[in-house]
Amino acid sequence: MTDTPQDAPALPYDPATDVPGFINVLIGIVPAQVLHALAALGIPDYLADGALTAEEVAERAGTHPRSTYRLMRAAASVGMLNYEGNRRFSLTGQGHLLRTGLPGSLRDLTLVQTGRAHWQSWTVFPESVREGTCQAKQALGADIFDYYARPENAAEAALFAESMADLSTLTVQGAVAALDTAGVSTVVDVGGADGQFVLELMAAHPGLQGQVLDLAHAAERASQKAGQRGLSGRFTAVAGDFFEKVPAADLYLLKTILHDWDDERATAILRNCRAAVHDGGRALIVETVVGEIGQPDFAVLSDMGMLAVTGGMERDLEEFDALFAVSGWHRGQTYPVGGGYFGIELSAA
């Protein structure tokens, strides 16, 4: 009797397409750290005025020439640099976003997202999923906000604050342009950090009185920013805790605040705003909104970051509505404001 070959079992995947696709996802760490190295070494700043060879960049940056060439070659493969031939590289549009001091730059955000505090928090991400709570304290010895509050981490904290301001640039102008301030005299930027949002709104509407409510170090920074913009006469910085109480106002701004917190604490913030709001008052929430499941979606990836780093979450509209209902708010208009973010207008229910 001769052996007859058995038919190989059918595989539940296509090796020709599914394996390369899987590998591309798996090595996603690499493009992120390519951006990290570009930003940390200042390479986009050296290329701001035009193409240079990798060796010329290495001389300016004080880096190893061949390793610099390898980094720049990888950066070209992920769309940050153009290869001009003869070992010369120039910036793409996306590459300009890694420059220092350029309006709209995302350099600081890149350094934060790929830096120690966030990166270490990702190392215990499976435990976050297993326990249902952020495990950043296990990785850092403190939750992320307490970590940034430590004096030895002041430089990281300042970088984080700057990165949030840079990210705000993508959304604030759109939100200010879309928001109707009829009937509004007083505005409180809840957890507003350096006050970028409320100060921009005040600049657009000279009759408004604005406040920032945040921790003491952030409130002091907001006062400085108001002075720099000549708005001190209409502005007050309030050092406080939005889980305890918020100042009375006609309008509350909560930009990327709710996503930092679980449902219980997000509800507490909203309830405090509802308890203090003037009759007929409103709130504007600026957040990402989770879309259709299975489609490419920045919000669902950001949601993983919130679980890993802050213990918060991104939400879909149904989840937002549940928060609003139990805290005494009613959702009105919802519209894009730029950068993948949405403005969600609330009225007192």
Q: Which residues does the annotation mark as catalytic?
A: 259
Q: Read off the amino acid at residue 104.
A: G
Tokens matching residue 48: 């701001």
The whole-angstrom separation of Cα 149 and Cα 164 is 16
The whole-angstrom separation of Cα 160 and Cα 42 is 18
| Strands 235-239, 209-214: pairing kind | parallel
According to DSSP, residue 290 is labeled -
Q: Which of 177, 191, 209, 189 is nearest to 266 (CA)?
A: 191
Edge-to-edge strand list for the sheet holding 52-53: 52-53, 88-91, 81-85
Q: Assign residue 85 a region (left: φ > 0; alpha: ψ between -120 and 50; beta: otherwise).
A: left
The whole-angstrom separation of Cα 298 and Cα 171 is 15
* Sign of the torsion formed by the C-alpha atoms of 204, 206, 208 and 210: positive
Chain centre to alpha carbon of residue 156: 15
CA distances from 183 to 211, 233, 247, 283 (A): 17, 20, 18, 13
Q: What angle do CA 170, 341, 232 make, to 5 degrees?
A: 50
Q: Which of 83, 88, 78 is nearest to 36 (CA)?
A: 78
User: Whose structure tokens read 């950043």?
Assistant: 136
Chain centre to alpha carbon of residue 261: 14
CA distances from 262 to 83, 148, 269, 305, 323 (A): 45, 20, 11, 13, 10
